[in-house]
């Protein structure tokens, strides 16, 4: 079988192969576009790659093309809740008179040969691995099919990773926490003294050094309505976080969020106030889900449009309006869940810098809370 590969197809294929297999970009499906390929990787500094093979013959057409690219980028930015969106715009067919203009958040490059791409200053700045990529040799028919097969294998591999993350799993730790909370509540009903012996109180914790209260109070509840609401929330949220992060990380997020929530509570409570309940840990699970959905915002756009964030805000608002609800623990748990999740990372994804930042900010937050509590 004879297959003829022209120069433009050769350039497109090799650029696509590089970004998909080496830089983990994924195709973006955009309806109504012709002769354009869009790729995205929300963890890169250049989040979008646009490969445009339409012929641009003059400056006016170039400006119209840039406006179209900006409009599409703005739409993707809005749908993925991105604070800043940047793009590498590769033009593969332009007239000699067309001059590339500086455009905010868009790096535009004219590419006629693969060497134009590989040796470009901007490409080398953002993608250092391109220096070692074998791109200059023109692909023959066999190489063409091999490159295509490599991209398909990479896509299938990524899909399997997503399937592993999102596939249903038995929420063992969630069920164990449910049982533990219920058993502790039943024991509370038989022995009411346990509530105040193990509930959170900043004076008992920091003056009398009863630090265990920061942990034990997470499993105590005031009455049947209190535990019913919290256990229902755990039943809903627990399996989601346990599926996304795995059992060990889920337990770490739950406990540390609850502890940070209790530190927030200590900061704002009086010496006669006791707090108890799993709410801080549960809001930590919400914070964890918020981090996950933002991290996978290109994949989970439907979930981002769900009532998740409004429900968090509604719960906080209700807490401010109803006396007796420890809003500070809710806020602390929410913040703690987000930061702890950032620190432990998401599977094999996530930038090392993000995890370092999450760890540093979490440590600083805990130290600052303890300092402020001691200064009360």
Q: What is the domain-level CATH number for residue 227? A: 1.20.1540.10
Tokens representing residue 334 in the block: 């929410």
Q: What is the pLDDT of residue 15?
A: 86
pLDDT surpassing 90 at residue 6? no
Same domain for 177 and 96? no
Same domain for 196 and 150? no
Between CA 180 and CA 83 the distance in angstroms is 41
Same domain for 288 and 224? yes
Same domain for 174 and 133? no
In a domain? residue 1: no
The more confident residue out of 111 and 162 is 111
Same domain for 198 and 86? no
Q: How confident is the model at residue 304 (pLDDT cuts 50, 70, 90)?
A: very low
For the chain, give the number of residues: 376
Q: What is the pLDDT of residue 374?
A: 92
How do strand 87-91 and strand 36-40 relate by DSSP bridges? unpaired
Contact 200, 213 (CB under 8 A): yes
Computed over its alpha carbons, how large is the radius of gyration of the chain?
Answer: 27
Q: What is the pLDDT of residue 353?
A: 81
Tokens representing residue 375 in the block: 């200064």
Q: Report the range out of 10-24, 142-156, 287-301 with the highest average pLDDT.
A: 10-24
Tokens representing residue 163 in the block: 């399937």
Same domain for 233 and 97? no
The mean pLDDT value for 179-193 works out to: 90
Same domain for 370 and 269? yes
Query: How many CA atoms lie less than 13 Å away from 266 in the CB half-sphere?
Result: 31
In a domain? residue 343: yes
Same domain for 177 and 158? no
Same domain for 337 and 249? yes
For residue 331, which of 278, 233, 264, 276 has the smallest C-alpha distance?
264
Identify the domain boundary among 165, 182, 202. 165
pLDDT digits (tens, 9 = 90+) for 321-360: 656 678 899 999 999 999 999 999 876 555 778 889 999 9
Same domain for 146 and 24? yes
Identify the domain boundary among 165, 189, 218. 165
Between CA 217 and CA 198 the distance in angstroms is 6
Q: How confident is the model at residue 191 (pLDDT cuts 50, 70, 90)?
A: confident
Contact 115, 133 (CB under 8 A): no
Identify the domain boundary among 147, 165, 183. 165
Who contacts 122 (Cβ-Cβ below 8 Å, separation ≥6)?
Answer: 88, 107, 109
In a domain? residue 63: yes
* Domain tally, the chain: 2
Give residue 209's domain range. 170-374
Same domain for 296 and 257? yes
In a domain? residue 29: yes
Same domain for 243 and 153? no
CA end-to-end span of the chain, whole Å?
81
Q: CA dist 348 to 42, 105, 171, 296, 351, Å?
A: 15, 28, 21, 13, 9
In a domain? residue 179: yes
Q: What is the pLDDT of residue 343?
A: 93
Q: How confident is the model at residue 242 (pLDDT cuts 50, 70, 90)?
A: very high
In a domain? residue 56: yes
């Amino acid at each position: 079988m004879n297959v003829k590969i022209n120069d433009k197809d050769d350039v497109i294929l090799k650029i696509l192969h590089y970004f998909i297999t080496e830089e983990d970009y994924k195709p973006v499906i955009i309806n109504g576009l012709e002769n354009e390929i869009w790729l995205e990787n929300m963890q890169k500094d250049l989040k979008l790659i646009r490969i445009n093979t339409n012929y641009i013959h003059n400056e006016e057409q170039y400006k119209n093309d840039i406006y179209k690219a900006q409009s599409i980028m703005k739409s993707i930015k809005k749908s993925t809740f991105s604070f800043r969106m940047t793009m590498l715009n590769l033009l593969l067919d332009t007239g000699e008179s067309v001059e590339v203009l500086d455009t905010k958040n868009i790096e535009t490059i004219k590419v006629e040969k693969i060497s134009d791409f590989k040796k470009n200053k901007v490409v080398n700045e953002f993608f250092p691995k391109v220096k070692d990529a074998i791109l200059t040799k023109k692909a023959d028919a066999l190489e063409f099919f091999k490159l295509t097969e490599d991209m398909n294998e990479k896509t299938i591999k990524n899909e399997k990773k997503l399937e592993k993350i999102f596939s249903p799993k038995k929420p063992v730790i969630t069920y164990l926490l449910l049982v533990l909370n219920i058993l502790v509540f039943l024991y509370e009903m038989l022995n009411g003294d346990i509530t105040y012996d193990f509930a959170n109180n900043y004076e008992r914790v920091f003056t009398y050094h009863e630090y265990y209260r920061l942990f034990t109070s997470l499993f105590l509840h005031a009455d049947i309505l209190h535990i019913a609401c919290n256990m229902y929330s755990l039943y809903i949220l627990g399996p989601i976080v346990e599926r996304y992060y795995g059992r060990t990380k889920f337990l770490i997020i739950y406990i540390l969020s609850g502890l940070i929530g209790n530190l927030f509570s200590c900061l704002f409570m009086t010496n006669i106030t006791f707090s108890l309940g799993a709410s801080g840990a549960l809001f930590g699970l919400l914070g964890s889900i918020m981090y996950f959905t933002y991290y996978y915002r290109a994949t989970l756009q439907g979930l981002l449009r769900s009532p998740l964030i409004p429900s968090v805000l509604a719960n906080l608002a209700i807490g401010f309006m109803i006396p007796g609800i420890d809003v500070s623990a809710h806020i602390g748990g929410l913040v703690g869940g987000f930061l702890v999740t950032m620190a432990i990372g998401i599977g094999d994804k996530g930038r090392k810098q993000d995890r370092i930042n999450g760890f540093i900010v979490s440590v600083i937050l805990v130290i600052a809370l303890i300092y402020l509590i001691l200064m009360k």
